[in-house]
Amino acid sequence: MLTQDSSLSITSLSAQERAITGIIAALLGMFMLYGVAFAHSDILHNAAHDTRHAITAPCH
Amino acid sequence: MIARVLLAAIIAGMIAGAVAGAVQIWRLSPLIQAAEVYEQQPDAKEGHATQSHDHGAVESAAQQGQHDHSHSSEVWAPEDGLERTAYTLLSTLIMGIAFALVLSAAVMFSGRNITVQNGVLWGLAGFVIFTLAPTAGLAPELPGMPAADLISRQTWWWGTVAATAGGIALIVLQGRLSLKVLGAGLIALPHLIGAPHPSTHESLVPANLAAEFAANSVAAMALFWIVLGVALGWTMTRTRNGVGA
């Protein structure tokens, strides 16, 4: 994993490495997306209000 | 490895989020604020009026000169102007990072590389999954426009995103024709079921405002996803080339 050249590519990673990295990235991303665009908290809604409309997420 | 991928996603997400934030403040926020005038009408459609958000509530309370200091029962909302713009920019940056993490997860699950060259295709896939497919059923909404129950719309939205992502994966990532056909069916399924709609679409928001917002929000998201795909291709390639080693 410390190769200095372009030989380290996603296709060269083991399935396990890709799965773990993918799951962590997906969970983090979904958590953030939920907070910005879907959480029913009024404060989160009001802070991100214009963004929720702009990214065409269901709002209100 | 995990840290490097996450870092690549965060940088790409901030780049695309900044672009989206600028476009949003320039093209979309003025339309949203123009529509809020209609949201404040006292005879706004029942059901929706009770859910109307607090910019309207705060302003109409202030306009009516209510003295009972109902602020304690009001929920915080950013002040119009610089504060609201700052929160919009911040939430757009977070949205950019969130979508970048989701896209990098898709790259990991697919086992395919993402580069500057094919980043446009990755970005377009994200655009189709997260914008085009859901808006085909639930058109972009402005404040003051009637809509069905929020939970049922959010459920349909997520179901459509999941079905479209699964469908595209089946079509692109494997070679069997029968599974490609299944993928196409999966993409069509939420639209055959149909999105939840209110009993009436009658609204005080002018049609041209709604049309302008729909076109501009979809265009802004297309731009966001293309920039995100290319930016993620760039940061992931830098990561692969050992920048973080």
Partner residue opposite A58 with nearest CB, options B55, B154, B218: B154
In chain B, the number of structural domains is 1
Q: What is the pTM of this model?
A: 0.86
Tokens of A42: 């009024």
Rounded Cα–Cα distance for residues A48 and A54 (Å):
10
Other beta carbons within 10 Å of B102 = 26
What pLDDT digit, counting tens, does each position of B201-220 carry?
Answer: 889 999 999 999 999 999 99
Q: Which of A9, A31, A34, A49 to mutate to test the interface with B (most CBs of B within 10 A)?
A: A49
Mean pLDDT, chain B, integer: 87
Partner residue opposite A42 with nearest CB, options B32, B54, B135: B54
B168 domain residue, yes or no: no
Residues 43-62 of B with CB under 8 A from A: 48, 51-55
B215 domain residue, yes or no: yes
Residue B12 sits in which domain range?
2-147+197-240
What pLDDT digit, counting tens, does each position of B119-128 carry?
Answer: 999 999 999 9
B220 domain residue, yes or no: yes
Three-state DSSP state, B153: helix
Residues whose CB falls within 8 Å of the CB of residue B209, separated by 6 or more in sequence, listed in order: B31, B34, B35, B142
B184 domain residue, yes or no: no
DSSP string, A4-58: -STT--GGGS-HHHHHHHHHHHHHHHHHHHIIIII---HHHHHHTHHHHHHTT--
